[in-house]
Chain A
Amino acid sequence: MKKPVLIFMMTLAVFIARAQDDMTEIYKKEIDHSFDYTANGNEDKDDYSYASSAKEVTVFNNLTGEILWNKKYSEISKELGKVDEVIPMWDAKVIFVFDRKIGKDKMACIDATSGALLWISNKYQDVGEESVIYISSLNAFAVTTKESLTMIKARSGEELWQTNKFKGIVGAYDVQDDGSIVMINMKATSLGALFSGLKNQIIRINTKNGDIIWDQTYRGIVEKKLVTRERLVSLRIKDGNVFLYMNGIQVFDYANGKPLWAAVYDQTPEVVKEKGGVAYGVVAKPVIVGDYIYVLDLVNKRNQYLKKYSVKTGKMVWQSAEIKDAKAIPGIYVAGDKVILQVGGTVEVQYIRKTKDGTVSGVKSENVKPLNVQCFNAITGEQLWESEKMKKGLTNLFLSDNNVIVCSGKALYSMDITTGKENYEKPLKEDNVGEADEIIDFKDQVVIIGEKGVSSRKKSDGSLTASSKFRKSTPLRRNNEVLYGGNTLVLYTEGSDYAVYDLNTVKYKRFDARKDAKAYLSDDGLNLYVFESGSLIRKSKVTKLSAK
């Protein structure tokens, strides 16, 4: 074939392929300024999004793309210069902006629908997103500073109450329908706060008047992830108990704050050799099923046990035999009268290290060995079986009916939960999506998120049903979840190219955005919002795309 014809044919093929795959544009809006801060509200509830630079902000309607307002911060308030942080408060329909100057921080509350200044104050120093909690029943914000906790009316800035009995940043909290908030404090990372000798507090407060209902001490130090700064703590209130998950679990009586019982270990074990790196997800979070809780107890590097406690009494029901040589136990799964432990496997590693070219930071996955799957009798704690089939790798696993579905990265396995007997082993080479990073349970399928795309296989026999190769990419997560609207997931590349997969067909539509673009998928998985900041020669823009 002659060369020009060949080039024409190839171009046509690429064009046809691209035309089939491209996402449909719903609207595209140019924005007159570059932006560093973006946020996308939920389409059902919060009908706006914003794009903001340090000096100017634009708010637009999600449904139509209509620009609701655009203002320079100096127009909103003469007291605002360059902003250093922008925080959306969707329920309150306000945007908080912070103009930070050491000891002279200004915090402004702006009506998100009109751009009007609601109030501005320089009273609240060192306040960040984690220090502001919206209490919808009062239409007010609880703002914590180093010295106190203040309840502020959202629209007027009027301070309803202030207490000096709670100090420090909020580590975790849970708001209850009875008007109470239970919260723990945490130390700031700055050296000054370290030397303040801040007391660990878990406290229940009446949000209406600031009354301290009880004040207790919790154990341990709230850790933050090295790069992403997520806190490794959560707090839940259920059936009259306050559950504080932090390197294990601590349980308090909701009524009077009395410590009931705890199963805690000192700190996350060091399992990776990555220079300047710390591993996360090494120890599984306790699992509550009915009246019982299953917890890992890491006495030390050698002595590790699975324990079952009664949630109501705190009494230990059983302790498993020693889980020997495990360096990481990232998963506990309970189904009926069986408890499955994932020993070893993929953990998250975050690192910051100095190189010749400067400081480098990042997030990656690493496989921690040894690798095996163990099954215990949930009634007695007796070990029923152990499988070391996936000795070379283990991404994750899930339980489905009477089977344990496990992925080694290169192969998919199904094992009978009762006996540990292998139902099948299927190599993933024909999936053509690179090595698997993660598997997810989807209807009667196992969805395999590979390094370069997505495939699906039947849970029943492991046969390949569909596969679509993309590029080297990572799934887009919201609250650590990859599934949107139950059927959709998004992969994105380092160059900000997006592929939105419909998991029913495992086909995707794509959008190649500018490098460093920011994208959000709507909760229902139907629309992708792409924010592309511009420069002197390229306009900034926001594009809404249909993933259908």
Chain B
Amino acid sequence: MRKLIATRIVLILIFIFLQSGIILAQNKTATGENNQAPTEVNAQRGEESSKATLKDPNALSESARQAIIEEIKAQLATMASKPLMQLIEFCQKNEIVGEFVVDLTVEGKGKIVTVFMVSTPEIAMPKKNALKDKLTQLSFENIKIPKKERVKLRYTLKF
């Protein structure tokens, strides 16, 4: 009986903890922690637009962007990191062969968030899709992209 009561108390505490997490997340959203939520404004739209042109101090400079792109391309060229070695193994196992031109969008600590298959060789469609799935799970090492920023690059993968 005591065990049952204790279990129930633990479950209730977990529930309260999770709920408070959701409320916190919603409050953050409502107050626009990362993105400014629309508010009832009487301000002129022109004023709003002029604010938008102010430069974000955390924005990625062009040279920093290029450096990140070069680093990612270097990693793709050597295929030396563990995830990239796994990618090669995956392609060998699934007989995925040829040249694949892809656009990769990367954010945060090198995580791929968008993959666009620009051109692919004439191989079976499920193989193309499987490669795209594998690419979306990839991340690169030694990359740090500021919040709200993304870096996009085009690369030709040869397997």
User: Could you list which residues of chain A lie within 8 angstroms of chain B, going by C-beta atoms?
Assistant: 119, 123, 148, 156-165, 194-195, 197, 199-200, 209-212, 215-219, 250-253, 256, 258-264, 312-316
Closest to A121 in B: B129
The reply to whether B35 and A195 contact each other, CB–CB distance below 8 Å, is: no
Chain B residues in 8 Å Cβ range of A199:
25, 29
Select which of B25, B35, B48, B136 is within 8 A of A260 by beta carbon.
Answer: B48
Chain B residues in 8 Å Cβ range of A316:
42
The reply to whether B37 and A219 contact each other, CB–CB distance below 8 Å, is: yes
Interface size on B, residues (CB 8 A): 39
B88 within 8 A of A: no
- The interface centre, meaning the residue of A123, A164, A262 with most chain B CB atoms within 10 A of its CB, is A164
B69 to chain A, nearest CB (A): 16
Distance, CA A162 to CA B22, complexed state (A): 27
Kindly specify which of B79-87, B91-99, B108-116 makes contact with the partner chain: B108-116
B89 to chain A, nearest CB (A): 21
Chain B residues in 8 Å Cβ range of A256:
52
- The interface centre, meaning the residue of B103, B113, B114 with most chain A CB atoms within 10 A of its CB, is B114
Distance, CA A26 to CA B44, complexed state (A): 61
Distance, CA A392 to CA B44, complexed state (A): 45
**Besides the contacts A164-B136, A312-B45, what 15 more A-B pairs have beta carbons closer than 8 Å?**
A148-B136, A157-B125, A158-B128, A161-B117, A162-B133, A195-B22, A210-B116, A217-B37, A258-B48, A259-B36, A259-B39, A260-B38, A260-B41, A263-B40, A315-B44
The reply to whether A209 and B116 contact each other, CB–CB distance below 8 Å, is: yes
Chain B residues in 8 Å Cβ range of A251:
38
Interface string of B42-80 (1 = CB under 8 A from A): 111110110010000000000000000000000000000
Chain A residues in 8 Å Cβ range of B40:
261-264
Distance, CA A176 to CA B44, complexed state (A): 27
Select which of A162, A197, A215, A315 is within 8 A of B35 by beta carbon.
Answer: A215
Chain B residues in 8 Å Cβ range of A217:
29, 32, 34-37
Chain A residues in 8 Å Cβ range of B153:
none
Question: How many contacting A-B pairs (Cβ < 8 A)?
Answer: 115
Chain A residues in 8 Å Cβ range of B42:
314-316
Given contacts A160-B116, A211-B152, contact A194 B30 (CB under 8 A): no
B21 within 8 A of A: yes
Chain B residues in 8 Å Cβ range of A160:
116-117
User: Could you list which residues of chain B lie within 8 angstroms of chain A, going by C-beta atoms?
Assistant: 18, 21-22, 25, 29-30, 32, 34-46, 48-49, 52, 103, 105, 113-118, 125, 128-129, 132-133, 136, 150, 152
The reply to whether B37 and A163 contact each other, CB–CB distance below 8 Å, is: no
Distance, CA A503 to CA B115, complexed state (A): 55
The reply to whether B129 and A157 contact each other, CB–CB distance below 8 Å, is: yes
Select which of A194, A195, A250 is within 8 A of B38 by beta carbon.
Answer: A250
Closest to B135 in A: A162
Chain A residues in 8 Å Cβ range of B21:
197
Closest to A316 in B: B42
Distance, CA A497 to CA B134, complexed state (A): 55
Distance, CA A308 to CA B132, complexed state (A): 49
The reply to whether A259 and B37 contact each other, CB–CB distance below 8 Å, is: yes
The reply to whether B103 and A209 contact each other, CB–CB distance below 8 Å, is: yes
Distance, CA A313 to CA B41, complexed state (A): 9
The reply to whether A313 and B45 contact each other, CB–CB distance below 8 Å, is: yes
Closest to B51 in A: A258
Chain B residues in 8 Å Cβ range of A164:
113-114, 136
Given contacts A158-B128, A159-B117, contact A314 B37 (CB under 8 A): no
Distance, CA A314 to CA B150, complexed state (A): 31
The reply to whether A165 and B38 contact each other, CB–CB distance below 8 Å, is: no
27 example contacts (A-B, Cβ-Cβ < 8 A) are as follows A119-B125, A156-B125, A159-B128, A160-B116, A162-B115, A163-B105, A163-B114, A164-B136, A195-B18, A197-B22, A197-B25, A199-B25, A199-B29, A217-B35, A218-B37, A219-B29, A219-B37, A258-B49, A259-B37, A259-B39, A260-B41, A262-B39, A263-B40, A313-B46, A314-B45, A315-B43, A316-B42
